[in-house]
Structure 1
Amino acid sequence: MNTKTPTPPSPKLGAKLSSGINVDFQSAKPDELRKFSGIGNSGRPFNYFDKTVVIDFDNITFKSTTAILHEHVHPAGAAQITIDEQGLRVNGHLLSNEHGSAIAKDSDEGFPWEMSVYVQAGRMELVKAGSKLAVNGHQVVGPVEIWRDCVVREVSFTAVGVDANTSAKALSDLNQPKKDEAMTQEEQEAFNQLKADVEALKQANTDAEAKVKTLEAEKAEAEKAAQEASVDAQLSAAGFKRAEDGKGFTGVSQATYGALLSAKADDAKAMIADLKPSDAKPSIPHALLHDLHQPPQPTPQDGKLSGLAADAAARHNKGANYV
């Protein structure tokens, strides 16, 4: 089903279409013109007299510098136009003439200026009731009239807009003092007090960090002392004796003692259980404590000993030992 009804070529339709926004103004600087920013059209459907209209941003054209008017009549500034996700964006500056100055003055006093774009449509297409079509990335539902191949002729500041899909606010630096303004005495005192408070907070933070480091060091020393006391108690209970110089234990090397101090509590306990004291004196071999040398015994022959053998046997029996 055809959802669009193209109209035959006709003279371009010109329309001044206001957008319901407040224009952003930037505070003036020395020797600079007053700057502003606004949205001329949101690219969404709006009510235009007795019908719903949407401007197609595809193939839309505008000059590199577009005229800015006051109520579509008086020259008030110049701007560049771009298209972004919010619509037809206008960034420019106001003239220093009476119209540009009046717009800036009214804005400073709180008047909510809106923007209006004057466009000429090359052709129009009608979307029938109930039909849907995507325009400018948004879905529109008929009946709606789409303006194609548009040309932007000028953008104006106006009091009332018709495009209610956009909004804006004054720039944040509107009421900030100029850089060359001197501080009052009260402002200078408040600034000095704030600066002093900041320095005090910095010093307090430095002191707190130093205290934390001290506490961490004390905690580490306490844990080390507790580990050493626990290892010493377990070694003593296992039968090891303290070394004469007070450093470590007899039978436990410095490397082993250091490993016990560095190990976890359960690991140190298991390691100590594997160690055995070596305090007992080594036993002396029996052979070193007894004289096992015995003189040769004569071999009796027929139950009788020779003269020398009998003499030796007699002397042995009397307890004499010769070596």
Structure 2
Amino acid sequence: MAGINEKPDPPISAYQFKTNLFDIEKSTEEGKKRTFTGVAYSGEVIQSHYYWGDVIFDLDTIKMKTPLGALIDHDPGRRAGVVRSTTNDHQNGLKVAGDLLSNKNGQEVAQDSDEGYPWEMSVYIVPGSIEVFEKGEVVVNGRTLKGPVTIFRNGVIREVSFCALGADDNTSAVAASHTPKQFNKQEDTDVTELEQLKADNQKLTTERDNAVTELKQFKETKRTEDIAALETELKTQFSAEDKTAYTAMDDSTFAFAAKQLRQFSVGGQQTPSTTQSNQTNPVLAHLFTHQANSGQAGAGQAQGSTLDHAFNQFAAAQK
């Protein structure tokens, strides 16, 4: 039974198909253009394509206008030749013939071929319509096929390319000739492994982000507890502004600030004769006492200088 393919828009690589090797004529005369021939499509079913499954091009409706560009690896910036003529029948498939350009790309193809390099043809075809036969039989290119099979109708070949063997092992193309299934199974395996690697990478990224969030929450909770413990120890209540400042400190700065506050509180408990307003922070009361008595001589003066120095250290740490 036939149906219209409802897959999402495929990547460009799904329309690029490897075919057979190019036959590049050996150089015979000085200045004569080098020619090439090849089978752009054999007419057989392309088995186990990574995107389409089993797929076949309808040779009766296929279109290929000449002259047609011949590129290297489907790169428009690497023009290497021109297809001048084509032949098309069910028995021999779609054959092409053309000549190489005299530019560096054409010379590269010719020179590598002369040294024995097996350039492989790849075609870029854009189908006019795509039919999917899930069940039953259908005749295409004189061959009776059983579903499921995908049929490209009214396909237009936009260009052919000289490709290095193995250049498309990322499944950007598969052989558009009668190719054993094992080759395409390996491509399917590569695609599956790539998808698995992407999934594993996403999982690791999520786990890392969750761990960072948990660590941040733990540190915030720990700092809140440390501030509350410091208030209890010093028998004071920090303002909301002070708590915000202490929360924003890194661990070393907060530890230093807490140490200084403890030192300021030592000996700074108020006596009845020196009791100040309840609004005065008892942590700083001792500093105020020594600043008020800074004119006295002896040990008190030395002690006041020491505390002033400690307070300056604390203030510098806050900055």
TM bin, normalised by shorter chain, reads: 0.3 to 0.5
TM-score, length-normalised on structure 1? 0.46
Q: Which of these two proteins has the greater Rg computed from alpha carbons?
A: 1
